[in-house]
Amino acid sequence: MSEHLERAFSPANLGKLQLKNRILKAATYEGKTPDGIPGDLLLDFHREVVAGGTAMTTIGYCTTEADGRINDQMMWMHEDIRDRLVHMNTELKRTAPDAKISGQMTHCGNFSKNRKMQRLKRPLGPSRQFNMLGMPSGLPFAGAMTTKDIDYLVQTYHDAARFMKETGFDAAEIHFSHGYGLSQFISPKTNRRTDEYGGSLENRMRLPLRVLEAVRKAVGDDFPILGKIGMTDGIKDGLQFDEAIEVAAMLDKGGIDALICSGGTSSFNPMVYFRGDTLDKGLIETETNPITRLGLKLIGPRMFRYYPYEELYFLEDAKKIRDRVSCQMIYIGGCTDLDSVERVMQSGFDFIQLGRPLIKDPAFVNNAKADRNYKNGCIHCNRCASLIEAPGGVYCPLNVEGQTS
């Protein structure tokens, strides 16, 4: 094994947390929390990931409040699920005592079709906005947050972070990208505010930095905070790389432990991060709401543009960010084979997050350590992603169909 592969499979510290290797599970909302409850479906999925040698799994899309959910099946951090989360995290550690667990902290902002709003009547984002996703649920418009709403949101991040630490998570990943709440503030496309939270990049970063500060206050210095940022929104008038690199620098200065550099937005151009076969066909197949299905047929080809898959599709841009910041760097995006793991390590990244490759083979690490010629078999068809809202949630259909590559 080369020195770079050895490094990938050797222990390393993420902030002050010791990990047994440098391969981490990326946040992938798996649709395995029926009615928002983290039960056996979610546990069993992540049990396989930690049993397979992954150093740290990530529970994706843990929203900070009920109204931060995109749909009403998502989990939010609140007292009623405390025992379930403690049970899940305890069980994961019983399965793999040396594995760690991170939770991705999110809020949908203006992008929601959640009919079971609790505090709000409609989703809120930085500015008033047409909410296409919410149309079939009777939520066609999102409102603009007041400064009181912003203060409330910051508090939800604080409380959710403390709750996650108390329930046995080892790290928190703040979602600053993919067109959700905080990224809507960063993006000039969705943030048209004229107060201190809009306009200049400094103003658009005010809320994300307040959130980072609040989460740090809640968890203390020894608990790693990761940040997933966008390097581009992939749309005209959206966030571009020249500002994204400054976003990274600001979060670095704000005390983030590690950055994960992604791109694209779920609302306008998701294929930037789902590089591979387009998603619309699969989503149309699984969608049960006829209005949403019609909408997908009409706008699908424009929204789900084809971005051909290539290995390590974010590497060159992520390297520029690596050169700019002093925090740790976690590579994400199309790292499917061992040559790619080697290249990412050689490029000076500290860790690698794998999304689809770990859905395809949760034992990636154990299998790759045992065989230098390991082939993962993920073909980036994105069929798993179109199952997000299907009964039972995400899995790799190729595995069930018995194909391996």
Ligand X SMILES: Cc1cc2nc3c(=O)[nH]c(=O)nc-3n(C[C@H](O)[C@H](O)[C@H](O)COP(=O)(O)O)c2cc1C
Concatenated DSSP letters of 197-239: TSSSHHHHTHHHHHHHHHHHHHH-TTS-EEEEEES--SSTTS-
**Given the rule CB under 6 A, which of 4-12, 69-77, 100-108, 381-389 is the region that contacts ligand SF4?**
381-389
Smallest gap from Cβ 370 to ligand X, in A, equals: 21
Among 115, 297, 397, 404, binds ligand SF4 (CB under 6 A): 397
Tell me whether residue 41 or residue 379 sits nearer to ligand SF4 (CB atom): 379
Interatomic CA distance for residues 161 and 174, integer angstroms? 10
Look at residue 396 and give the partner it binds from ligand X, ligand SF4, none, a contact being a CB closer than 5 to 8 Å depending on partner kind: ligand SF4
Residue 283 is a binding residue for ligand SF4 (CB under 6 A)? no
Residue 390 is a binding residue for ligand SF4 (CB under 6 A)? no
**Given the rule CB under 6 A, which of 2-10, 50-58, 308-316, 355-363 is the region that contacts ligand SF4?**
355-363
Residue 117 is a binding residue for ligand SF4 (CB under 6 A)? no
Residue 263 is a binding residue for ligand X (CB under 6 A)? no
Residue 395 is a binding residue for ligand X (CB under 6 A)? no
Q: 38-56 burial, b if ≥16 CB within 10 A, otherwise e?
A: beeebbebbbbbbebbbbb
For residue 141, which phi and psi values (nearest 5 degrees)?
-130, 145
Lateral strand order in the sheet of 141-144: 124-125, 141-144, 129-130
Interatomic CA distance for residues 185 and 201, integer angstroms? 10
Tell me whether residue 262 or residue 328 sits nearer to ligand SF4 (CB atom): 262
Interatomic CA distance for residues 12 and 350, integer angstroms? 8
Look at residue 178 and give the partner it binds from ligand SF4, ligand X, none, a contact being a CB closer than 5 to 8 Å depending on partner kind: ligand X
Amino acid in position 100: K
CA-only gyration radius of the chain, Å: 20
Show the binding pattern over residues 57-86: x = contacts ligand X (CB under 6 A), - = does not.
---xx-------------------------
Look at residue 231 and give the partner it binds from ligand X, ligand SF4, none, a contact being a CB closer than 5 to 8 Å depending on partner kind: none
Look at residue 351 and give the partner it binds from ligand SF4, ligand X, none, a contact being a CB closer than 5 to 8 Å depending on partner kind: none
Interatomic CA distance for residues 156 and 302, integer angstroms? 35
Among 219, 332, 341, 344, binds ligand X (CB under 6 A): 332
Q: Considering only CA atoms, which of 64, 82, 79, 258 is closest in space to residue 154?
A: 64
Among 356, 360, 369, 383, binds ligand X (CB under 6 A): 356
Judged by CB under 6 A, the number of residues near ligand SF4 is: 13
Residue 388 is a binding residue for ligand SF4 (CB under 6 A)? no
Show the binding pattern over residues 95-124: x = contacts ligand X (CB under 6 A), - = does not.
---------x--------------------
Residue 25 is a binding residue for ligand SF4 (CB under 6 A)? no
Among 342, 384, 389, 393, binds ligand SF4 (CB under 6 A): 384
Burial of 222 (0-12, 13-18, 19+ CB in 10 A): exposed
Residue 279 is a binding residue for ligand SF4 (CB under 6 A)? no
Q: Considering only CA atoms, which of 307, 199, 209 is closest in space to residue 263?
A: 307
Strands (E) located in 129-170? 129-130, 141-144
Question: Which long-range contacts does 366-370 make (Cβ < 8 Å, 24+ apart)?
Answer: 366/52, 366/53, 367/52, 368/9, 368/338, 368/341, 369/9, 369/53
Q: What's the CA dihedral at 181, 77, 396, 230 to 10 degrees? A: 30
Catalytic residues: 180
Interatomic CA distance for residues 260 and 284, integer angstroms? 30
Q: 292-323 burial, b if ≥16 CB within 10 A, otherwise e?
A: bbebbeeebeebbeebebeebbbbebbbebbe
Among 26, 153, 205, 398, binds ligand SF4 (CB under 6 A): 398
Cβ-proximal residue to ligand X, closest one:
355
Look at residue 397 and give the partner it binds from ligand X, ligand SF4, none, a contact being a CB closer than 5 to 8 Å depending on partner kind: ligand SF4
Smallest gap from Cβ 50 to ligand X, in A, equals: 17
Among 5, 8, 21, 29, binds ligand X (CB under 6 A): 29
Amino acid in position 72: D
Residues interacting with ligand SF4, by CB under 6 A? 356, 359-360, 378-384, 396-398
Footprint on this chain of ligand X (rule: CB under 6 A): 26-29, 60-61, 104, 175, 178, 228, 262, 273, 332-334, 354-357, 384-385, 388, 394
